[in-house]
Structure 1
Amino acid sequence: MTQLAIAAEAFHFLRPAWLVLLPAVLLLWWRIRRGSARRDIAGEGIAPHLRAALTLGDTGRGRIQPIDAAAAAMILLLLGAAGPTWSRMPDPQAAEAAPVAVVMAVTSSMEGADIAPSRLERARQKTRDFLDRRGGARTGLIAYAGSAHAVVPMTADTGIMVPYLAGLSSQIMPRPGNDAGAALALAGDLLAPEGAGAILLITDAVDPADVAAIEAAPMPVAVLAMLPEGTRDRGIDDLSVPVVQVTPDDADIARLDRRLNAAWRAALLENTDQPWEDRGPWLAWPAAVLLMLWFRRGWTMRWAVLALGLAAAPDARAEGIADWFWTPDQQGQRAMDRKDFEDAAGDFADPLLRGYALYRDGQYAEAIEILDRVETAQAAMIQGISQIRARGYRDAVAAFETALARDPDYPGAAENLQTARDIVTYIEDVQDASGTEDDTEMTADEVAFDNEENRGDETRQEVPRDGEGEGPLSADQWMSGVETETADFLRQRFALEAAAGPRDAAQDPDAAQAPDGTEAPPPPAPGDSP
């Protein structure tokens, strides 16, 4: 079911009692329209050319009259007062897109080069495009061949998937085969704690024996078929779930994203805790335009002069049509709704909204600096999450403590504070065991770490200055010095899991988790009270 069909099914009026006035408006329009029509003048004994000369207004009987515009405006206002709606109010604590488990086939057939550069490489590219489009929604990654393995658990920090995607190849899979059924079962386990979600299956072939398992999956499934044009697969052809053929552009990803989110939107409509969103104010704009057109004759010239006057006004701030209708904060919110966080940060005037947009865009240092101007618990909460993303864990502890000091009951602050403290404790325990300090706050000239808890050994590392030795290593040099490749790590992990037998990846205590368990709540929309 498409989003349009879901909206049509959910459409109703919040205040339908206003609709009883519609027949009265239609009756009034009919009476006035009928009364304005002139009776035909008797033509007996009058020459046709004289009759036409003596008849006034007869040629305008079929034209649009002022009462038509007035009646249309009244009907629009009545419909707006009735409160049309087809969606719930967005929940600021909920994800903006459906949680999705990406299930990718990593089989020998996926190494085929009939889709350049290869089916598997194109699948990795499509997965990265899909993650970029989702804007930080919770996503997990599963790889399968003869066995299925959770590569990355469900997380909102989808950037950590990129190096794991690069390490996927058929050589790292412990068993050959194409067991999509086991992969779908594992995806269901990953999504179970989310409460709802969807599964994206990326494959070039489906065993006919797995068709029933795919169609009986506990979550909605969509398939991205990694097959060149004209190539068919019996198992994929037998599927009744949505199947999208891979395309050179991102049209396939856009279709998949719409289909997967459609089921999520339908589930959100069943959430009775969220009120319905009143769309009635939208109808006030066309009603106002109709009333202005109906006001008096000659309106075309009057509005043209007014438009020229607005364009020529020396003190006008408007730099575009959008500035005539929306404030900077409203324009920023529109950009946020499009997930264009960089433009939103440039549009917002409110520092809280601008700081949150910078945080969503990944500009954590800038977000922390802007939010220093706002003395609210919400600002401190977003600062703390930004500090964790920037690996400033001790500063994150201070930010969450500030949030609790400003509002002891602020949602999620206590949990995030405990998470940040656990991370700091873990780092200090590792330092105690290794006799080294944390190296996450390195400067260009030397590395020196604060030792607030008097734990571990004080360590000071001199870094050669320009002209002294080889200088600091670049990021590429650091990565080239790492002996263990991602593919080697995944090969060893998958082999151990295959030897141990099927496991519940959602309950696996060894599965890697993102350091921040909760997301910073978004700030209120422009015009709402905090």
Structure 2
Amino acid sequence: MIDAVTEFHFIRTIYLLFLIPIAVLWWAIRPKHKGLSDLPAGIAPHLAKALLLGAEANRRIYPIDVAMTVAVLLTLAAAGPTWTRAPNPLIADTAPLVIALKVTDSMEETDLTPSRLQRAKFKITDIIDARSGAQTALIAYAGSSHRVAPLTEDANILRPLLEGLTPAVMPKSGDVAGDALVLAQSILDESQTPGAVLFVLDDLDPSQIPEFETASSQIFFLTMLPDSQEIVQLNTLKNAEVVPFSTDDRDVTRLLRQIQTAYVDALDDEDRLDWQDRGWILAWPAALLSLLWFRRGWVIRWAMLGLFLVQPSGPANADGWRDWFLTPDQQGQIAMNQKRFADAAELFEDPYHEGYARLKTGQYPEAAAIFAELKTPEAAFAEGMARIRNREYRPAISAFETALERRPNWPDAQHNLEVATAILDYVETTREQSDTGEEAGIGADDTVFDNDAGRGENTTIQAQTDGSQPLSADQWISSIDTDMQDFLRNRFLLENQERTQ
């Protein structure tokens, strides 16, 4: 509450000048009270008060009072009162979150059925599902820390990687939670919006405490211990929130609420983000005060007639009342908040937000086409997101390169460019290595690449004559059967070797 008071200001202060003519008009029109001095002399004061006509009316609230109060409220609303920042919807819907999971032998204890580690995976899955559309990264740590997945909105990427985490895939035993925190902060530094770190663990080595005491990110702990047991070391940390494990979803609900609150507070320090206009809040008391005009003697007929006259002509529409009070973009934002993305796409007039709504509803080609017409770095970034989700890796690479041209050294665009390039390289390399089709069972007679630089951009594959069709890029990826635990074990071992060299 104190932070909200200190951050309070008006976005459009010029509108506050309208309060001057409102005050002058209010003073000029409001009926003046009649005093006893207006009566002839010689009349006793108590008799004069009784003889004064309209004395009771002097205590009434006049229609002009209500009208001017409404005018003041609307003027303040137009000035744009605000005390919080508004996040960029194309970067993240909510706070970016890095989840650090402790993967040690102690997490295999069965005091939480079936095990602490398995219950931790269930809780993390619930958090990921509840944060649909938000960016989440995953870290695993024991005697070494490893980035399992970067910040991503795709839960389908995180789930199989999460399931593959066991103590057997970790190259070293131990507890380097401090190293995991440093890795988590480096991941958050790549994001454009402030985020938080969540540790899911059953214990913390006291030697790791100094790293947490000097951390710059907001830290949360989910303790995987039965019967609300405490990790004593965590009680000394002042910049961390500890949530004990619960058999129901209370722990997840509490975590999500605290993470979102921390995100809103952190936005106030982000100068790159716009302030969130809160003027709509004042529209409610203004509307309620307007209802007083229907009292007897408070003329409202002319005002109602004026409202109907300014409405556009045309057939009656049951939903047309929304157009009286809300612009199409405001209606579209309400639909977005209610996750009615298809409706929002039809309501938005602003192309930037329309494209984002179509991106959320899965209309990737339409969203990409809209963003391609805009000339901002955010639009190029969003076009790349739409292209890569539509498996158009080359156009996605081009879009992210355009975003970097318009805004050099943009970490999010640089990261996505590297991801898109890696995916394309992986697909084309797999095709080249299996161009005979023997390993995939295609039985191709001949494979011709159009050029070495394009790496199969216009590839022709002659399939066997039994009528089977050539595999698409997605089918090539799906045909590769790799055990997730073996994949993670080999990757972590390689990372550990590179660190020791």
TM beyond 0.5 = yes
Deviation at 1:272, TM superposition (A): 3.7
Distance 1:293 1:497 in 2: 71
- In the alignment, is the contact (CA less than 8 A) between 2:364 and 2:390 conserved in 1? no
1:486, distance to aligned residue in structure 2 (A): 0.9
Q: Which moved more, 1:55-64 or 1:315-324?
A: 55-64
Q: What does residue range 164-313 of structure 1 map to in structure 2 within 5 Å?
A: 164-194=161-191, 196-240=194-238, 241-274=240-273, 276-280=275-279, 282-284=281-283, 286-287=285-286, 289-291=288-290, 293-294=292-293, 297=296
- The residue aligned with 1:119 is 116
Aligned counterpart in structure 1 of residue 81 of structure 2, from 67, 73, 84: 84
Residue 359, structure 1, aligned to residue 359, structure 2: yes
Residue 508 (structure 1) aligns with: none
Listed one character per residue, the Cα deviations across residues 16-55 of structure 1 (whole Å, up to 9, x for unaligned) are 89489689959978x969938999x98989xxxxx99x99
RMSD: 5.5
Amino acid at match of 1:123: A
Q: For the Cα contact (< 8 Å) 1:141–1:151, is it kept in 2?
A: yes
Give the whole-Å Cα distance in 2 for the aligned partners of 1:320 and 1:149: 55
Aligned to 2:141: 144
* Counterpart contact for 1:22–1:78, Cα < 8 Å: no
The equivalent residue for 1:521 is none
1:392 is matched with 392
Equivalence for 2:311: none
Offset of 1:96 from its aligned partner?
A: 4.1
State the Cα distance separating 1:105 from its structure 2 match: 1.4
Query: Which segment is superposed worse, 369-378 or 199-208?
Result: 369-378
- State how 1:33-48 maps to structure 2 within 5 Å: 35=33
Partner of 1:344: 344
Amino acid in structure 2 at the alignment position of 1:169: T
Distance (whole Å) between structure 2 residues aligned to residue 348 and residue 316 of structure 1: 22
Q: Which residue identity does 2:461 align to in structure 1?
A: T
1:103 is aligned to 100
TM-score (normalizing by structure 2)? 0.70
Q: Is the 8 A contact 1:205 1:236 kept in 2?
A: no
Deviations 1:501-522 (A, max 9, x none): 569xxxxxxxxxxxxxxxxxxx
Structure 2: how far apart are the matches of 1:35 and 1:87? 44
Structure 2 Cα separation of the partners of residues 432 and 321 of structure 1: 60
Query: Which structure is richer in relative contact order (CA contacts within 8 A, separation 6 or more)?
Result: 1
Where in structure 2 are the equivalents of 1:369-448 lying within 5 Å?
A: 376-377=373-374, 385-393=385-393, 424=424, 427-436=427-436
Distance 1:447 1:10 in 2: 70
CA-CA distance at 1:271 after TM superposition: 3.8
Summarize the Cα distance change of 1:118–1:315 in structure 2 as closer, same or farther, 3 Å threshold. farther
Partner of 1:335: 335
Gaps of 5+ in 2: 38-42, 309-313
Shift of 1:333: 2.2
Aligned residue type for 2:129: D
The corresponding residue for 2:318 is: 318
Alpha-carbon distance in structure 2 between the residues aligned to 1:301 and 1:78:
21
Residue 73 in 1 paired to residue 75 in 2? Answer: no
Deviates more, 1:167-176 or 1:18-27: 18-27
**What CA deviation, in whole Å up to 9, does each residue of 1:311-352 have, x standing for no partner?**
xxx953335976764466533322334555456357658887
- 1:419-447 CA distances to partner (integer Å, 9 max, x unpaired)? 8677656644554444358x99x99xx99
Aligned-pair CA distance for 1:10: 1.0
* Aligned residue in 1 for 2:491: 493
Counterparts of 1:221 and 1:491, CA distance in 2: 28
Report SS of the residue matched to 2:222. strand
Q: Given the superposition, is the C-alpha separation of residues 19 and 37 from structure 1 closer, same or farther in structure 2, using an over 3 Å criterion?
A: farther
- Cα pair distance change 1:297/1:450, threshold 3 Å: farther
Q: CA separation of 1:192/1:432 partners in 2, compared to 1, >3 Å: closer, same or farther? A: same
- Secondary structure in structure 2 of the residue aligned to 1:194: coil
- Hey, what does 1:459 align to over in structure 2? 461
> Quick one: distance in 2 between partners of 1:23 and 1:347?
36
Shift of 1:221: 0.8
User: How far 1:167 sits from its partner (Å)?
Assistant: 0.8
Q: Is the 8 A contact 1:351 1:370 kept in 2?
A: no
Q: Unaligned 5+ residue runs, structure 1?
A: 46-50, 504-530
Instruction: Give how far 1:165 is off.
Output: 0.4
Instruction: State the 1:149 CA deviation.
Output: 1.9
**Conserved 8 A contact 1:100-1:140:** yes
2:183 aligned counterpart, secondary structure: helix
Deviations 1:463-513 (A, max 9, x none): 977xx9xxx9xx99x98x86642122222333444455569xxxxxxxxxx
Q: For residues 13-32 of structure 1, what are the structure 2 equivalents within 5 Å?
A: 13-14=10-11, 15=13, 18=16, 25=23
Look up the SS of the partner of 1:386 in the other structure.
helix
Residue identity matched to 2:485: A
Distance apart, 1:225 and its partner CA? 2.3
Distance 1:113 1:464, change over 3 A: farther
**1:462, 1:123 → 2: CA distance?**
48
Identity within the alignment, %:
39
